[in-house]
Chains A and B, each alone.
Chain A
Amino acid sequence: MLELKSIYKKFPTFELQDINLDIEEGEYFVLLGKSGSGKSLILELIAGLQTPETGDIKIHGVSILNRTIQKRNIGLVFQNHSLFPHMTVKANIFFALKKRRNRDSFVKNINSVIDILKVSHLLDRYPATLSLGESQRVALVRTLVTNPCCLLLDEPLSSLDTQTKTEIRSLLRKINSGHIYFGEENREKLKTILHVTHDYEEALALSSRIAVIENGVISQVGKPSEIFRHPKSQFIAKFIGIKNFYRGYVKKVDKTTSIFTVYKNNNSSDGLTNIDFNISTDEYNGDSGCVILRSEDITLSNTFLDSSARNSFKGTVTDIENVKTGVEITADIGGVLVSALITETSLNKLEIKLYKEIHISFKTQATHFIGN
């Protein structure tokens, strides 16, 4: 229902190039990118606060470029919530209320959203006295009461503590699924949400589809699982936190095997190391490219492991780091670093220590080659 076609816009320090998005009705769509990649600007373009130099923006197939901001009926919540500081919470929420014939039922609908989002005890307060979570909820109520055709959220969770993040995430899901709605006629009606963030986990948790934006260009669009399993570019892989990526040179050996030799310092001009990975790829031969490995797919052992894994290397432990999901061990296998994710139990059982010798292994199928 929301389409961006070939949007181009130049900013003083920045350029949005050939942005194409096609968001369906009721989708929870996440725009994922680093800070400064232009994602917030895309929201402003959709809302009408900026105009593109070329390209079109359509809602339900109709171009909205010539519509004023006020007439686009799009809800936008900025990262800092932008509550009007000189007005009470109640005045903020009722700001959009205009003279209308069915004012009473409108007010009743506003009051029910106020109750559902649990802000009724805040009505007489001023925005400066609210916590971030409360302020976020008020901002959401204020926008929902305009019954926008879609909701644009700029980093809605970024400044919140973990517990509040969970609460608001749940609220956002309910808004998308129609369990929080404005007016009885909108009960259970899906609400399209375009959510902009730099946090991959947020994207994974909430979205039905993700678009990754890098330096003003959309580099990949797809379901979260696609993006995670098959990132289309080195940038995306790095961005979603894959630590093991290597640049190198691939050569096909026989029908099923290709050998990937890692470049020194991951730089083609520095020459090849003598580290060869057995990788699975059919399409490339004699090409440069990049291989990524998920940390979970690396097996560690104290001695050489005779197994089905075609890739086996001896190395030295260079780093041991506690992460959310376990322990990350980094090993140097000869000028090339590999990170493996294991449990703390395994760490203790194998008695892994810094600078100790370690064997790493992984299957050919665990490698993912990305061509240039």
Chain B
Amino acid sequence: MKSIKNLSLFQTILIIFGGLILLFIVAPILSMCLSSSVHTLVKTAAEEQVYKSIWLTLWTSMAATIAFAILAVPFAYLLARKNFPFKRLICGIIDVPIVIPHSAAGIALLGVISRDSIAGEAASKIGINFIDHPIGIMIAMAFVSLPFLINGAREGFESVPIQLEKTAYTLGASNSKVFFTISLPMAWRSVMSGFVMMWGRGLSEFGTIVIIAYYPMVTSVLIYNRFTSYGLKYAQPVAVLFVVACLIMFIFFRLLSMEKKKKNNLVRYK
């Protein structure tokens, strides 16, 4: 590592740019965190509406990610390994939820799951109503965040050398055994990374959820609700608490994956 003294002009400029970008990200968050007193934060955290909302956001996004992962990860494997007609088109379609305006996504989903639609009617017969219900929230979250998991997992599977799978076949392993013992373990980091991205994206969703399920309020909706009803000061503490909760979760996941990486490195280069 070069010491500060030996930096070229180019590297110095890069560092300045980096600093500006970091400032751009950190400054608003930091100033918001400092805007509320500790006392306010504690009081807000104790409010039932607030902690229930944070909990709702966390568990619906996690549940949505897990549920769709079961379908999406094998699909990503298929995309990575097989060529079929219109494959490029399908990959393009998978990316659509990222670019579509979130309110438009909400309207689109509403058309499919509201009580007037086929799916909505069938579901209401067995007592499930998507609108204004956690399941609706989960559907909205999954819709906008699936591409992250699919693409992450697909890239992970693509990076597994196909010759390893070929070798496994010649050793008598079935397609499913190869998937579970070779492809998935080797792609695990990318799959996990895609998983966390999907979860995070779902956590932060607002526009789609607002249309399908304003109530029960996930935290992004709660913050908006408080802001429009009572103003900035009333919304800030909730935002701070949520940011802190998310940070804790993400740092926790990072540590987990670093631990595994460290362990692997130790074992590999013994």
Contact = CB atoms under 8 A, between A and B. Distances in A.
A72 B159 CA distance: 28
A74 interface: yes
A129 B267 CA distance: 9
B270 interface: yes
B269 A128 contact: yes
Contacts of A96: 171-173
Interface string B157-178: 0000101101111111110000
Interface string A24-46: 00000000000000000000100
Given A49-B170, A126-B270, 20 more contacts: A47-B170, A48-B169, A48-B170, A49-B166, A69-B169, A70-B169, A70-B173, A70-B174, A72-B170, A76-B166, A76-B170, A80-B163, A82-B161, A82-B164, A82-B167, A84-B182, A96-B173, A125-B270, A128-B268, A143-B170
Contact of A126 (B169, B186, B267): B267
A362 B167 CA distance: 52
A129 B170 contact: no
19 contacts: A48-B169, A48-B170, A49-B166, A70-B174, A76-B166, A76-B167, A78-B163, A78-B166, A82-B161, A82-B164, A82-B167, A95-B171, A96-B172, A126-B268, A126-B270, A128-B268, A129-B269, A142-B171, A143-B171
A78 B172 contact: no
A289 interface: no
B268 A49 contact: no
A125 B266 CA distance: 11
Interface in A62-85: 69-70, 72, 74-76, 78, 80, 82, 84-85
Nearest to B167: A82
Interface in B178-197: 181-182, 185-186
Interface residues on B, range: 20 to 34
B172 A70 contact: yes
B96 to A, nearest CB: 32
Contacts of B182: 84
Nearest to A125: B270
The 10 closest A-B pairs by CB, nearest first: A82-B167, A69-B169, A96-B171, A76-B170, A70-B172, A126-B268, A128-B268, A49-B166, A82-B163, A96-B172
Interface in A126-172: 126, 128-129, 142-143, 146
A74 B170 contact: yes
A98 interface: yes
Contacts of B268: 126, 128-129
Contact of A95 (B168, B186, B269, B270): B168
A80 to B, nearest CB: 7
A354 to B, nearest CB: 49
A86 interface: yes
Contacts of A84: 164, 167-168, 182
| Interface hub of A47, A72, A84 (most chain B Cβ within 10 A) | A84
Contact of A146 (B161, B164, B172): B172
Contacts of A69: 169-170
Nearest to A128: B268
Contacts of B163: 78, 80, 82
Contacts of B174: 70
A146 B268 CA distance: 27
A49 B169 contact: yes
Interface in B85-131: none
A230 B244 CA distance: 81
Contacts of A44: 166
Contacts of B169: 48-49, 69-70
A143 B164 CA distance: 13
Contacts of B166: 44, 49, 76, 78, 82
B164 A95 contact: no
Contact of B270 (A49, A98, A129): A129
Contacts of B270: 125-126, 129
A47 B166 CA distance: 10
Contact of B171 (A85, A86, A128, A146): A146
Nearest to A72: B170
Contact of A86 (B168, B172, B186): B186
Contacts of B185: 86
A156 B185 CA distance: 28
A142 B167 CA distance: 10
Contacts of B186: 85-86
A251 to B, nearest CB: 54
A85 B185 CA distance: 10
Nearest to A95: B171
B172 A98 contact: yes
Contacts of A82: 161, 163-164, 166-167
A84 B168 CA distance: 9
Nearest to A50: B166
Nearest to B269: A129
B167 to A, nearest CB: 4
A69 B270 CA distance: 35
B173 A95 contact: yes
Contacts of B173: 70, 95-96
Contacts of A74: 170
Nearest to B182: A84
